[in-house]
Amino acid sequence: MFEIGKITTTHGIKGELKVVSLSDFDRFKKNEKMFIVKDNQKIELTVENIKNQVNNLIVKFKEFNNINEVLDFRGLIIYSNTRGKLNKNEFYYESLYDLEVYNVNDNSYIGKVTDIVELPHGKLLEIYNEDKKILIPFVDEFIVEVTDTKIMIKPIEGLL
């Protein structure tokens, strides 16, 4: 199960909820199935309507039509059983962890990916070699190829 949103509060009297999206994907679409867990019970939800607000989504689920039915949902996480669909050259973080990284110029081993660091200007691969940590920008200028088993990079002088 994948966390896709968090209910912050109610909105109006018709059972609408303010939701903060926790996903990089557009997961809240009309008729999309999802669920919450309340008191160890799974409650199935189907999106009936959605509106964008500045930092929130206003979501109406088909199963609830009254504010009183959803008051106790504040603070709950919304889950989905399906992953978001990736476009070409997009990756789930967990698929990058532990991949071996090689220099495309001479096929030399650089290290293993141990983390992905998110910064305002982009993402960095954190790579550990036996004695040092290396940060490589995760952009096309440096990343030549990503397979299921390795990453090939094209380093510039001074990067390693």
The DSSP-derived string for the chain is -EEEEEEEEEETTTTEEEEEE--SS----TT-EEEEEETTEEEEEEEEEEEE-SS-EEEEETT--SHHHHGGGTTPEEEESSPPPP-TT---HHHHTT-EEEETTT--EEEEEEEEEEETTEEEEEEE-SS-EEEEE-STTTEEEE-SSEEEE-PPTT--
**pLDDT grade for 158, boundaries at 50, 70 and 90:** low
- Could you tell me if 64 and 113 are in contact, meaning their C-beta atoms sit under 8 angstroms apart? no
Give the mean pLDDT of 77-105: 86
Neighbour-count burial for 92-120, b at 16+ CB within 10 Å, e otherwise: eeeebeebebbbeeeeeebbbbeeeeeee
How many Å apart are CA 46 and CA 38, to the nearest integer?
16
Give the mean pLDDT of 3-24: 91
CA dihedral 53, 44, 24, 89 (to 10 degrees): -150
pLDDT (0 to 100) of residue 130:
84
Contacts of 120 (CB under 8 A, 6+ apart): none
pLDDT digits (tens, 9 = 90+) for 22-59: 887 788 999 999 999 999 999 999 999 999 988 899 99
